[in-house]
Structure 1
Amino acid sequence: MQTEILKNGNIFGDNANDHVIVSVVIPTRNRPKIVSRAVKSALAQTLQAIEVIVIIDGPDEETVKSLSQIADSRLKVIELLENVGASEARNVGVREAQSTWIAFLDDDDEWLPRKLKLQLELAEHSQFKLPVVSSRFIALTSKGELIWPRRLIAPAEPLSNYLFARNSLFAGEGFMHTSTFFTKKELLIKVPFNNKKYKHEDWEWLLQVSNLENVGIEFVSEPTAYWHSDIGRQRLSNMGDWQYSLEWIRSVQHLVTSKAYSGFIMTIVSHEASIRKDWSAFWILLRESIKLGKPRLIDYLLYMVIWLLPQDLRQQIRALAKRFKSK
């Protein structure tokens, strides 16, 4: 294994393979066992001409030790001297990447073996100069396996509508997960991740680049990754910081449609507020959605379901609906 340490802006370690086709960037911090699993799934790709760059976000001896047990010259480890956050860690990985194509993998997710091969084939035949290729994935939950997104983006559909304006009662309809992002380094250098944001930065990046010339969203229709969504760990997206999410959607209002603005507030922000049982948010969010957005009947219905039905009950209803549909 090549271990590289980032010190005062200088990289120490061997140069990357000149024949790398895809660079895989994995940010991590204090999760040595989990990130090792992610790394192994990347190295097990049928596409072999890759480099796997792990950015350790701050001093982390245990993770360095764990990754040193993986004997593969395609693995590079960069340990930052201080914590900079996941967004900037990804940006560091992009800057150090040696290939034209970049793929991101979160440290608590895994890839199926043909993931990179399928996305590279689609990207190389894309009509767009700068394609952003995503895919379906398998969400591993306590209630079983779910394949998300349930539908792919429609031609000419605004990306913000696809991500935030739900047309059904159950989550997972429209989704782009960071561990399925695949695009050119050129685009990521032009538009890096916002290192001032600790949440929703992946959505913000997608919304920004989707409005650029020569950029288009593409999907591999089959699942290419595993998302460990419900194994007892606290994710930032589930912490219930609804005020942050409300401020975030306000900051990107110019990038979303009125329908998507209401959809985000009445589902995602309201879900976070309901987790905290912060009933003071109920009227705040409803007024915001009506005043600045364009809520639909389905949005009002989802809003009431989220606030009035406990999350566990909603999950049970979803599981029953899934079993009924499979019969």
Structure 2
Amino acid sequence: MSNEFSIVLPAYNTPADILRRAINSVLNQTYPHFELIIVDDGSEPSLEPIIKEYRDNRIVFIRHDKNRGAGAAHNTGIKASKYDWVAFICHDDEWLPNKLEKQSSEVIKHEIDEKLALIYSDIFFYDNNTLSEFNARYVFECVTKNFHEASLILAFFYTSTIIIRKDALIDVGMYDETGILIDWDLYIKLSEKYNFYCINEKLVNYYSSSLGITHPNNFNNNPLAGNDIIKLYYKWKHDIFKYKKAKKIWCIRWNAIAQWYLQKNQKKEAFIAYMEAIKLNPYWRGNYIDLIKYFILRKRL
């Protein structure tokens, strides 16, 4: 297995300066053995004029004739890739210059491990020009030391940090093209069969941006985002019920979903959500307290 990389950069209506920042951070890598596949997911206007500014034969440009969603854009890049390892960079993030060099070294070190399919790293996190640090390994170890259980609880690393074996991506069916939480779903699928490895260094600048569907402003105002969490839960419900910690976390999520429904005056949906929370953790009294409040509120209305 080679340690050359196919880098997939999906983009949609990305401002030129933001897109250039992402592209430049890839082209400026100290490790030069890669191709950069930029997938324009039906932007209007096309992003092609920006891409043509670059005279680098490692760049491959693909354009969807219409917007097909993030999952489809990622899969288009994977299908077009020619190397054994696939990396991803979000259109509004930035790699540090030594990212691929560090990950290439780990590929060589772990090449005999047939179960290792994904290598990730820590990040620098920028939110409204405020810098913080995210230690992915620490988050993982705080949750559990089981990759599958941890992935069921949360996506504990960021897409722009990862490299994944292409054969593993194909094996698990690549990205779901019907949802929003596509990265999280992919990590759960991979964690069923493969292991992950963390480089405990910060190799990516992650920018919290309104360009992303997972940005809090978009998530709270977009019903599709809330619906997608519910969809993810039901898809993996059988696995979630195998793990005590996963059940507790999803209980809290369902309690929050119930309150979200109440804010929208969707009482039936709120009741169903409370029932799901109780199934997950019947011993947490917070569910019953909130359910009593629900009935009191319903009686008053």
Query: Structure 1: which 4+ aligned runs deviate by more than 6 Å?
Result: none
In the alignment, structure 2 segments of 5+ residues that lack a partner are: 291-301
Distance 1:284 1:97 in 2: 44
Letter paired with 2:47:
T
Q: In the alignment, which of 133, 140, 145 is matched to residue 131 of structure 2? A: 145
Is the Cα contact below 8 Å between 1:253 and 1:261 reproduced in 2?
A: no
Is the Cα contact below 8 Å between 2:120 and 2:157 reproduced in 1?
A: yes
Question: Equivalences for 1:47-86 in 2 at 5 Å?
Answer: 47-58=31-42, 60-86=44-70
Is the Cα contact below 8 Å between 1:207 and 1:255 reproduced in 2?
A: no
Say how many residue pairs are matched: 273
Hey, what does 1:158 align to over in structure 2? 146
Question: Is 1:207–2:184 an aligned residue pair?
Answer: no
Distance 1:36 1:275 in 2: 40
92-101 or 189-198: which moved more? Answer: 189-198
Hey, what does 1:198 align to over in structure 2? 179
Distance 1:119 1:269, change over 3 A: farther
Distance 1:20 1:134, change over 3 A: closer
CA RMSD of aligned residues (A): 3.3
Question: Is 1:235–2:213 an aligned residue pair?
Answer: yes
SS in 2 for 1:52: strand
Distance 1:300 1:119 in 2: 44
Hey, what does 2:298 align to over in structure 1? none
Is the Cα contact below 8 Å between 1:164 and 1:264 reproduced in 2?
A: no
Distance 1:275 1:21 in 2: 48
Following superposition, the deviation at residue 288 of structure 1 comes to 1.3
TM-score by length of 2: 0.78
61-70 or 279-288: which moved more? Answer: 279-288
Hey, what does 1:185 align to over in structure 2? 166
Hey, what does 2:228 align to over in structure 1? 244
Question: Equivalences for 1:21-100 in 2 at 5 Å?
Answer: 21-33=4-16, 34-58=18-42, 60-100=44-84
Distance 1:252 1:165, change over 3 A: closer
Distance 1:44 1:159, change over 3 A: same
Following superposition, the deviation at residue 111 of structure 1 comes to 0.7
Hey, what does 2:113 align to over in structure 1? 128
144-153 or 28-37: which moved more? Answer: 144-153
Distance 2:270 2:15 in 1: 40
258-267 or 246-255: which moved more? Answer: 258-267
Identity percentage of aligned residues = 22
Letter paired with 2:145:
E
SS in 1 for 2:47: helix
Distance 1:152 1:219, change over 3 A: farther
Letter paired with 1:157:
K
Structure having the higher helix fraction is 2
Distance 1:269 1:55 in 2: 38
Question: Equivalences for 1:91-110 in 2 at 5 Å?
Answer: 91-110=75-94
Letter paired with 1:138:
F
TM-score by length of 1: 0.72
Is the Cα contact below 8 Å between 2:9 and 2:91 reproduced in 1?
A: yes
Deviation string 1:49-77 (CA, Å, 9 cap, x unpaired) is 11110011125444111111122221111
Deviation string 1:159-204 (CA, Å, 9 cap, x unpaired) is 35434658xxxxxxx7211111211111112223343332122111
Hey, what does 1:14 align to over in structure 2? none
Distance 1:102 1:272 in 2: 39
